[in-house]
Structure 1
């Protein structure tokens, strides 16, 4: 096999892995009511299956690079696909919510390594002048996942059963396992630097405690449990600081936070993504539970947002060059937050064209928001800190998705119980998560003035590509 054909095969392998990972982040959403009915639980009690997947990926992503160095990219990537496929089979075989949550954790273990190790394999195999084009090719797979996910999930539920939203990964994974053994070059398998297990444990404990505090599973004394879990999260985060100072190679160097735009961007990303991540979870539930849409119809309704987001990517660079990051993020954040609030206006009598317009505006603004936030957060880091900063940024992205789902679902439950109306619960929840997103506009006002001439980096180079 020639070098060019070998590199082409490598790109297709990595793109397929990225597609599986991004597909499973969105394909579940339109199937939630059907899964809930099958497992005899309330649809709004299903957020743990989304949170478990994203939180597991957030915790394990930092270890992926070390694992590749220690055991070799081919071996670890093969194991990642295998674990992901086994997790998918377990998801399809689940008979209770608890079983499904545990299966999603297993799936998240494999998913956490698919993109980082795949991107690392490309970095080590593709020459510098071809690297950007290679990442652009991979990013297309990441964009196809959110586009196809909701519709494909709705079609499987309506035409076959919800189990196929997970079983679809089996044939894809089987081909991937063969291709990895046949085409993926093996790098690493050498003495890797010591991994910071203590630091990873402290930050993982912080994320788990914080997520559980937001949506406490305890049926009694919920407030007390939430306060205790928030305290545990704060203690874990604070304990990491002296640990990082003492360790020669900590998981994340504290010097990262000396770059002011990295700190501001990290906080702004977390706050903004909480609101925008609630939308893919809440909208299919709103359409099916309140408006009476079928699973397929609700999945198709998510297409305008995904397609508008893909088209809008080309507008980002010229807008940032003209107005600068601070002005662009201020105005665009307001558009994103306002479009989320606008979902509260959707009722059974809302014209279809209005629903599509709201979804399209949200999708376009949200896509540009992610790319601009990604770029402004990471572009000021030194070459030495770029890898570590990108890894921490990816953790925050995954954490925000889980928090958005937990907060969005929790608010619907809270308002529905207090008002005695699920429809009003959805409306008030959209208003609240929209306001949370609007708060991030104030956070981005603290950015240092960034030169407008600096190009916006493509999403393929920034973490999860979302």
Structure 2
């Protein structure tokens, strides 16, 4: 495996994942500059995730039609253009549109980047390579708060987006130099009915959940949109069963390894995806810390994620996918729930240690499950598998934030109390319990699942004889 390939992909994906959350701390400054309110500006956060949900399903078809390398480089350029458009936006409508354009680029970067990695890496080296690709998705959102706060405080919010220009251009050059050539081919005609139904389904669910959890619009709008999305999802399932080449091939779910990997990952991500949303709020509202101090504490989770690269390959070789995933879920869920015991009196060293372990277990799970998805998939099916995994990821993250937001709001409604430590305790206990439900599908995973990737149970190679 050429280590330069996952590193180049990781840099681009880090830029995209961090940018998806970095503007959260800058919302008041941006709102003041463009003449709107922070609540209304949350539509910009929502428009980004809606764009991801719409265009991720088409990523597999585009990669097969035009070549994964070419699409990946084009996606970076679209993301950079969207970043510049964000920086020069003067109105709310312009900013929301610019974020939507950014989302179009981000929607292609993640699944196509994963596709390039899978197709260019021998299966027995996929776990190690996937660890490099997983870390940006875990670290980026956690770095968003401190980096966004630092840039907004000491420079200008415009640099949150302008900094993407040199990074993106360097990424385009390095991708052209390092990534393997991937010529396009005959991917068949695009499934337009499926594209519309999948886009309405995914964006309806993501938009509806985002509005419910971050009400920039009346909650009834979110519920109506959510219902439309669910109806479109039902329509897409019926369509995909009959279409010769569906935009998202749900027939891949007949593969038990892929099905269990995506299902367990979706459930676990719902719970653990709420952590980057809850932690900064708890530290700022419950503990009285400023955004920069809060961001420095949450960065401890990223330290744990970075350390997993050292041991995950060894753990999978010794125990196999099933055992490692069960350990990661059980330990990760317990640690998330334990965050509900934090208070102002909790020593910082204990908080940091807990967050490091949370970061480690979630990175251990996602590195393993993301690799397991491709264990029993033919090369010609990798584009579809990558798109399916990315769609489920976006929906589950939106659902995780929505669940966390609704838990906080429910505590306020039922008790009449303002959001404080008690509300955050209940929210962390709830999402920790929800994460633990990911164990259920894993019990059906065979102990030898993914042995061609993990090497678990494989005989040790004997040293070659010196005699000839």
User: Per the alignment, do residues 130 and 273 of structure 1 end up closer, same or farther by CA in structure 2, a change over 3 Å counting?
Assistant: closer
1:268 Cα offset (Å): 1.8
Whether 1:307 and 2:303 are equivalent positions in the alignment is yes
Whether 1:342 and 2:338 are equivalent positions in the alignment is yes
Asked if the contact 1:291/1:347 (under 8 Å) is kept, the reply is yes
1:359 Cα offset (Å): 0.7
Q: Distance in 1 between matches of 2:216 and 2:292?
A: 34
Q: Tell me what 2:430 maps to.
A: 432
Taking structure 1 as the reference length, the TM-score comes to 0.80
Asked if the contact 1:153/1:299 (under 8 Å) is kept, the reply is no
1:301 Cα offset (Å): 1.4
1:356 Cα offset (Å): 0.4
Match of 1:416 among 412, 416, 421: 412
SS of the residue 2:427 aligns to: helix
1:136 Cα offset (Å): 6.6
Which deviates the most, 305-314 or 270-279? 305-314
1:297 Cα offset (Å): 2.0
Asked if the contact 1:257/1:263 (under 8 Å) is kept, the reply is yes
Q: Tell me what 2:133 maps to.
A: 139
User: Per the alignment, do residues 221 and 59 of structure 1 end up closer, same or farther by CA in structure 2, a change over 3 Å counting?
Assistant: closer
User: Per the alignment, do residues 252 and 425 of structure 1 end up closer, same or farther by CA in structure 2, a change over 3 Å counting?
Assistant: same
Q: Distance in 2 between matches of 1:35 and 1:416?
A: 29
1:392 Cα offset (Å): 0.5
Asked if the contact 1:31/1:295 (under 8 Å) is kept, the reply is no
Q: Distance in 2 between matches of 1:335 and 1:128?
A: 30
Whether 1:59 and 2:54 are equivalent positions in the alignment is yes
- Structure 2 matches for 1:293-304, cutoff 5 A? 293-304=289-300
Whether 1:202 and 2:197 are equivalent positions in the alignment is yes
SS of the residue 1:447 aligns to: coil
- Structure 2 matches for 1:343-382, cutoff 5 A? 343-382=339-378
Residue deviations 1:207-238 (CA, integer Å, cap 9, x gap)? 2222344344596683x972x54543343223
User: Per the alignment, do residues 32 and 19 of structure 1 end up closer, same or farther by CA in structure 2, a change over 3 Å counting?
Assistant: same
Asked if the contact 2:207/2:222 (under 8 Å) is kept, the reply is no
User: Per the alignment, do residues 218 and 20 of structure 1 end up closer, same or farther by CA in structure 2, a change over 3 Å counting?
Assistant: closer
Q: Distance in 1 between matches of 2:71 and 2:450?
A: 40
Asked if the contact 1:309/1:366 (under 8 Å) is kept, the reply is yes
Asked if the contact 1:329/1:369 (under 8 Å) is kept, the reply is yes
Q: How many residues align?
A: 447
SS of the residue 1:302 aligns to: helix
1:156 Cα offset (Å): 1.2
Asked if the contact 2:341/2:425 (under 8 Å) is kept, the reply is yes
Q: Tell me what 1:460 maps to.
A: none
User: Per the alignment, do residues 328 and 122 of structure 1 end up closer, same or farther by CA in structure 2, a change over 3 Å counting?
Assistant: closer
1:352 Cα offset (Å): 0.7
Q: Distance in 2 between matches of 1:184 and 1:312?
A: 25
Asked if the contact 1:157/1:295 (under 8 Å) is kept, the reply is no
Asked if the contact 2:258/2:372 (under 8 Å) is kept, the reply is yes
Asked if the contact 2:284/2:294 (under 8 Å) is kept, the reply is yes
1:41 Cα offset (Å): 4.5
Q: Tell me what 1:23 maps to.
A: 18
- Structure 2 matches for 1:56-455, cutoff 5 A? 56-71=51-66, 76-94=71-89, 100-118=95-113, 139=133, 142=136, 145=140, 148-176=143-171, 188=183, 192-214=187-209, 215-216=211-212, 222=220, 226=223, 228-418=224-414, 419-423=416-420, 424-451=422-449, 453-455=451-453
Identify unmatched segments of 5+ residues in structure 1.
1-6, 458-466
Taking structure 2 as the reference length, the TM-score comes to 0.79
SS of the residue 2:189 aligns to: coil
1:306 Cα offset (Å): 0.9
Asked if the contact 1:72/1:189 (under 8 Å) is kept, the reply is yes
Question: C-alpha root-mean-square deviation of aligned residues, in Å?
Answer: 3.9
SS of the residue 1:378 aligns to: coil
Asked if the contact 2:57/2:388 (under 8 Å) is kept, the reply is yes
Residue deviations 1:177-219 (CA, integer Å, cap 9, x gap)? 5667889887546654212222222122222222344344596
Asked if the contact 1:91/1:166 (under 8 Å) is kept, the reply is yes
User: Per the alignment, do residues 197 and 390 of structure 1 end up closer, same or farther by CA in structure 2, a change over 3 Å counting?
Assistant: same
1:34 Cα offset (Å): 6.0
Identify unmatched segments of 5+ residues in structure 2.
456-468
